[in-house]
Amino acid sequence: QVQLVDSGGGLVQAGGSLRLSCAASGRTFNYYTMGWFRQAPGKEREFVAAIWSGGTTYYADSVMGRFTISRDNAKNTVYLQMNSLKPEDTAVYYCASDLFSRATVDPRNYQYWGQGTQVTVSS
């Protein structure tokens, strides 16, 4: 069993920044693939960014160059630094973990999910 706790969301003006955090339980955190996904009202959940156990990162085209995913294995925490935020980034953001350490962006391959944190970007 893995528990994920998301935090760091809030209200920010366009062009601003936020850093999301996701604290995970589990003694083998460093082996997990960790991902961030988001869901806007009336839309399906979509991939944002992922980081594999070895540190390789992958981003959706819509956030490339603006968002950075990172992990601190000593703290069992993954981060999403979001810069140059746009109104279209408004959504509930979820972190998720894949215990099978796959290089995957498909949400169906992630077994555990955080509760979500709201990010609202005003224009």
3-23 pLDDT tens trace: 999 999 999 999 999 999 999
Amino acid at 7: S
Round the average pLDDT of the chain to a whole number and report it: 95
117: which strand partners?
93
Cα–Cα nearest to 90, from 14, 29, 27? 14
Provide the Cα torsion 108, 44, 8, 116; round to 10°.
-60
Reported as a pLDDT band with limits 50, 70 and 90, residue 27 is confident
The structure tokens listed for 7 are 């935090």
74-101 pLDDT tens trace? 999 999 999 999 999 999 999 999 988 8
Percent above pLDDT 90 for the chain: 86
The structure tokens listed for 27 are 């003694």
Q: What is the pLDDT of residue 29?
A: 87
Q: Distance (Å, rounded) from C-alpha 102 to C-alpha 9?
A: 27
